[in-house]
Each structure stands twice: as structure tokens, then as C-alpha cells.
Amino acid sequence: MIRKIFTASLVGGFGYLLYEFFMNFHQKVGLPTVSSHYIQNGPGELGAANIVTSVVVTYRGLDTLGEVTVLFAAAAVVGLLIKLSEPEKDTGRGTSELLVTGAGLLFPLIMLMGIYVFVNGHLTPGGGFQGGAIIASGVVLLVLANPQRHISHLLLTIIESTSGVTYVAIGTLGIFLAGGFLDNRLLPLGNYGTLFSGGLIPVIYSIIGLKVGAELSTVVVNMGLKAVEKEDSQ
């Protein structure tokens, strides 16, 4: 009985909130001041055709730095929680020939697609986070095709660390040599709508893509090694 009363009260409260929302809803006929500034002045100030990229990479670059820091912290926690050990060279576990062949054919294409996405992030939908996730999906495919494959943790760490330091260094240079943190006008804005436009945005997005790809790949590799280790112990 108490459960039914609680459920009825919860549904009634939720319905009341929806009622208040619809009764007090007023359609906005214009954009807020900040959004209007981004849309009207973004292309001229930053030279990027993708307004979302302009906001993420330049206008709120400090927020993006926080996002990649959170992702780094998540990857570090996974590495701490999962005990790493070198897997045995041969556990007798086989994989599908179709999967192995497909991984060999698709991995280079996946890498190329990921690079394309973050290099062209200032022109088309996409960017560093999306491109990095695509690159990590290629690593997932490699791990699934051959769990015993050795993927260098040192290489992933170097890529991730170098990308992070370079990102902060470029952002700091923007403070002293341009208009603020991660100001893309350290480089010429170029011709609007072309690959070599948007100033430093393509470089920044490439750095983010490498960092995100390395971090997500580290998580995948750590989990793959743990799964192999568990199977070996059984």
C-alpha cells in the first residue's frame, strides 16, 4: 500500500512539473547574447566554418582542457584498478580468421578516417573527440582479433603526455602572443572554408584527437590484458 501511495505521489508530482512547464512555456524568438556573438562573429574572428568547433576549441578552450583532463583521470584510474602483467605468448586461444583478416584490412582505414575527422573538424561536423574515439575503435578491433598482440604502453603514454603538454603550451602562447588562451590567431586564418583555414584550430584539434585516441586506447589495452590474464589463470 505504501509503495502504491509513493508511486502515485511521484507520478503526480512529475505530472505537476510538466503542467507548470507547458503552461509557462514561452517560445524564444531570438538567440541569447552570447550565442548571437558566436554565430555572427565566429567566422570572421576565427576563420572556422564550423561554429561548434570555434566554441569548443577557442571560445571555451579552458572547458575543453577540463574535459580532456577528466578523460585522462578516467584512463589513469582504470590503469590503477587493473593490475597489469605481461600475458603469456601462447594461451591456446584462437580467434576467427574472418575477424583477423577484417582487422588487417580495416585498421588502416579506421586510422585514416579518425585522422580525417579531427583534421577537418573546423570545416565539417566532427573534431578531436570524435576522431580520437574512431582511432580507439581501431585499437579495439586489433585487440579483438588478437588478444595476445603487444601494443606498447610506452608509446601510448608518450603520445598522450606529449599531446597534453603541447595543448597547454599552445594555449599559454595564445595568452602572450594573441588574444587569450588557445587563441587560434597564432597562425594566419587563411581562406575561409578551405582546409588551411581557421588559424591554429586544425592543429589544436589534431592534438586533442591524438590525446583522446591514446587515452581511450590505453583503457582498451588495459582491459584486454586483464581479460587475457584472467583466462590464463583459469
| Cα–Cα distance measured from residue 74 to residue 155, given in angstroms and rounded to the nearest whole number | 19
Which pLDDT score is estimated for 44? 87
Interval 16-68: pLDDT, tens: 999 888 888 887 777 888 888 888 888 888 888 888 888 888 888 888 888 88
Interval 16-29: pLDDT, tens: 999 888 888 887 77
Specify the pTM.
0.74
Interval 166-210: pLDDT, tens: 998 998 998 888 878 888 888 888 898 888 888 889 999 999 999
Which pLDDT score is estimated for 133? 92
Q: Structural domain tally of the chain?
A: 1
pLDDT of 106 strictly over 90:
yes
**How would DSSP label each residue in 87-119?**
PPS--S----HHHHHHHHHHHHHHHHHHHHHHH
**Using 50, 70 and 90 to split pLDDT, how confident is the model at 230?**
low
Residue 101: which domain range? 2-233
Residues with Cβ within 8 Å of residue 51, at least 6 apart in sequence = 38, 39, 42, 43
Determine contact, residues 86/74, Cβ cutoff 8 Å.
no
